[in-house]
Amino acid sequence: MNSPLTKAGFSKQETVAHVIANALKKHGITHFFGQSLPSMFVLAAEQIGIKQVSYRTENAGGYMADAYARMSNTPAVVTAQNGPAAALLVAPLAEAQKVSIPVIALVQDVNRDQHDKNAFQDLNHIAMFESVCKWVRRVDLATRVEDYIDQAFVAATSGRPGPVALLLPADLLQEPAVPAPFKRSVSLGRFPLDRPVANPDAMAQAVALLAAAQRPVIVSGGGVHVSQASQALTDFADAMSVPLATTNMGKGAMPDTHELALGVIANCLGPNGSGRYLKPFISEADVVLLVGNRTNQNGTDSWALYPKNATYIHLDIDPQEIGRNYEAQVRLVGDAKASLEAMLHLARAADTSARKAARKDVIAAISRGRDRHQSEVAPLLQSIDTPIRPERIMAELDALLTEDDTVVADASYSTLWVTNYLKVRKCGQRFLTPRGLAGLGWGMPMAMGARVANERGTTYCLVGDGGFGHVWSEMETAARMGIKVVTILINNGILGYQKHAECLKYGSHTSAVHFSAVDHAAVARAAGLNGVRITDPARIREAIEQAAQSSTGTLIEVMCSDQAYPPITFYTPDAQV
């Protein structure tokens, strides 16, 4: 029997799919995350040299795109089929929406004459995506394709960036291209697309308030990275002699070697927490400058950390975030980097003598707080216990970390080990965590997307065994696509956070929290990566070193204690839970 696949190689040219591919190229898109669909688009894109980074599940593809955008400060494109595949993009787009990351989802839709007829895999995609995207549209006319692509890029990258979805009917993609009435040639492939500066009077007021304050503090959130404002923020804090703390998402804004760096405070206030002895810098502040900070639950220790009587100055691109939980006396609506650069000029011209006079005491107090924490955790960092303590893993990783490295963590405890124990080496160093929604399993694909965006240094990823179970299949993708990530798996045999929280809150746990023994290192090897299992803490460092040197990705499975609790206030004795 003759094969039904009789057509010669892909020969179509100048279709609507080609117009889309060319528009992406114009916007600087060099990679997209996909799994062959919409086929016409992928064929056209590969034909003109845009690289498809494939995924095994759309979930993972969306997280790869998210991290790619976070690392490259360019919008990232993920593609998927209509129906079930589109539905799997909802979770990653929701994360991107929460953390203001421009992910552009190009999703196939059924043929234009098949809507509402129970066509195969038809769904009301617009309604489905609307709650997790900034902008959702379907393009129905060949003449309007470039208009819609540009609108998608502008929506994703301007103002408060965020995810968008553009639906592409399958039949439209095959139509011949028609010239658009107006030529479009400007590239929009970066974010923030525009950098509006805050009101000059408000900025002057902010600088004056900080200069005159007794105990001022700056707390930056993830918006600092979205705006690439780390250097501007560090320079401003330095010029004003104001200490700077970050949230989990803001980690990396200032090097920990800087004398005014407080590090992550709010989510590290429990036993052994790095923020414990530095907490008064926030809780007793008289003037607080919030920068790109959503004042969310984790970033405020459930809104218990911030002082009631302080004066709040709030800088954000989204006016709605300003004053959301803490009434702002000074509203600074603008791009963080551009506004902080302008504020730096004001700071240099201002009388900051009182701050300069106070600086010595401030840095002495910071250094005392840091030393006290270090001596408290030293036994854990050097622990020779087996099963192994996660803190020991973090100490070994921290000893090897360089300023070119990127660290990605999964949700659950992995995020907290990373934000509490790893030191920031340089301004703007990235510690990526899926902390918009803290969905499990998103770390490993995020590390892959981060690696595709930036191959400098080593890309480390810390995951728990529960979360990792969501995405084992992507190890094959990493091996096939040559994406090198050093993944450190904390195998504690349990859904740790889940089990511990249930025990703490209810005095018991459900039957779902214990796993049977899994040889993850063997799974990694079977999928084409290096896989090693570590049971002796003395072997962690050489395993990481070898993995960093290998040209292939590695899974280092560390057999860990199931009784290690990260340093959140939830685990403080007598905490109200």
Ligand X SMILES: Cc1ncc(C[n+]2csc(CCOP(=O)(O)OP(=O)(O)O)c2C)c(N)n1
**Contact set with ligand X (CB under 6 A):** 411-414, 438-440, 464-467, 490, 492, 494-498
Q: Residue 497 binds which one of Mg ion, ligand X, none, with CB within 5 to 8 A depending on kind? A: ligand X
Nearer to ligand X, 250 or 467 (CB): 467
Whether residue 173 contacts residue 41, with contact meaning beta carbons closer than 8 Å, is answered with yes
Q: How far is the CB of 535 from ligand X (least distance, A)?
A: 18
CB of 180 or CB of 501, closer to ligand X: 501
3-state secondary structure at position 117: coil
Given ligand X, Mg ion, none, residue 129, with its beta carbon under 5 to 8 Å by kind, binds none
Element (H, E) at 267: none
C-beta closer to ligand X: residue 220 or 415: 415
Compare residues 483 and 490 and give the one whose CB is closer to ligand X: 490
Tokens of 419: 């934000």
Q: Min. distance of Cβ 496 from Mg ion in angstroms?
A: 4
Out of ligand X, Mg ion, none, which partner does residue 411 contact, by CB within 5 to 8 A per kind?
ligand X
Q: Which is nearer to Mg ion, 293 or 492 (CB)?
A: 492
Nearby residues of 379 by Cβ (< 8 Å), 6 or more positions away: none
CA dihedral 437, 167, 83, 61 (to 10 degrees): -50
Indicate which of Mg ion, ligand X, none lies near residue 108 (CB less than 5 to 8 Å, by partner kind): none
Residues whose CB falls within 8 Å of the CB of residue 292, separated by 6 or more in sequence, listed in order: 220, 221, 222, 223, 224, 225, 226, 227, 229, 250, 315, 316, 317, 336
Binding partner at 94 among Mg ion, ligand X, none, C-beta below 5 to 8 Å by kind: none
Minimum gap (Å) between residue 120 Cβ and ligand X:
28
Whole-number Å distance between alpha carbons of 194 and 496: 43
- Which C-beta is closer to Mg ion: that of 429 or that of 492? 492
| Helix (H) / strand (E) containing 433 | none
CA-angle at 339, arms to 333 and 343, nearest 5°: 120
Q: Kindly state the smallest distance separating residue 560's Cβ from Mg ion, in Å.
A: 8
Q: How far is the CB of 170 from Mg ion (least distance, A)?
A: 42
234 binds, among Mg ion, ligand X, none (CB under 5 to 8 A by kind): none
Query: Among residue numbers 458 through 487, which ones bind Mg ion (CB under 5 A)?
Result: 464-466
Candidates 177-185, 259-267, 329-337, 489-497 — which segment interacts with Mg ion by CB under 5 A? Answer: 489-497
Q: How near is the Cβ of 412 to ligand X at its closest, in Å? A: 4
50 vs 418 by CB, closer to ligand X: 418
The residue among 291 and 568 lying less far from ligand X, judged by its C-beta, is 568
Task: Specify the residue, 50 or 486, whose C-beta has the smaller distance to ligand X.
Answer: 486
Helical (H) or strand (E) element with 377: helix 353-381
CA distance 465 to 493: 7
432/449 Cα distance (integer angstroms): 11
Does 410 participate in binding Mg ion (rule CB under 5 A)? no
User: Which of 213, 232, 416 has the alpha carbon at shortest distance from 335?
Assistant: 232
Which of ligand X, Mg ion, none sits in contact with 438, Cβ below 5 to 8 A by type? Answer: ligand X
Who's near 27: CB < 8 A, 6+ residues apart?
75, 149, 153, 187, 188, 189
Question: Which positions ≥6 away from 509 have C-beta within 8 Å?
Answer: 498, 499, 502, 503
415 binds Mg ion (CB under 5 A): no
Instruction: Choose the one of ligand X, Mg ion, none that binds residue 413, judging by a C-beta under 5 to 8 angstroms depending on kind.
Output: ligand X
The entry of ligand X, Mg ion, none that residue 250 binds, CB within 5 to 8 Å by partner kind: none
Considering the complex, state which of residue 313 and residue 560 has its C-beta at the smaller distance from ligand X: 560
**β-strands 287-291, 311-316: how paired?**
parallel
Query: What distance in Å separates the CA atoms of residue 536 and residue 545, rounded to the nearest whole number?
Result: 15
Of 175, 13, 23, 63, residue with least CA distance to 461 = 63
Residue 123, contacted partner among Mg ion, ligand X, none, CB below 5-8 A by kind: none
Query: Cα separation of 427 and 230, whole Å?
Result: 6
CB of 384 to Mg ion, least distance (A): 22
The CB-of-465 to Mg ion minimum distance in angstroms stands at 4
Beta carbon of residue 411, minimum distance to ligand X (angstroms, whole number) = 5
Question: Is 390 among the residues that bind Mg ion (CB under 5 A)?
Answer: no
Instruction: Give the shortest CB-72-to-ligand X separation in angstroms.
Output: 25
Cis peptide before 192 (omega within 30 of 0): yes
Helical H segments across 241-352, by residue range = 280-283, 336-349
Binding residue for Mg ion, selected from 250, 496, 531, 553, defined by CB under 5 A: 496
Amino acid at 427: C
Beta bridge partners of 314: 290, 331
User: At its nearest, how many Å lie between ligand X and the CB of residue 513?
Assistant: 8
Tell me the number of residues near Mg ion by CB under 5 A: 5
> Residue 461 binds what, of ligand X, Mg ion, none (CB under 5 to 8 Å, by partner type)?
none
Closest residue by beta carbon to ligand X: 464
Q: How far is the CB of 164 from Mg ion (least distance, A)?
A: 34
Contact residues for 65 (Cβ-Cβ < 8 A; gap 6+): 32, 33, 76, 77, 78, 92, 96, 103, 449
- In the complex with Mg ion, the residue whose CB is nearer, 19 or 440, is 440
Closest residue to Mg ion, judged by C-beta, is 464
Collapsed DSSP state (helix, strand, coil) of residue 1? coil
Query: By the 8 A CB rule, do 365 and 261 touch?
Result: no
Q: Rank residues 224 and 494 by Cβ distance to Mg ion and give the closer one.
A: 494
Contact residues for Mg ion (CB under 5 A)? 464-466, 492, 496
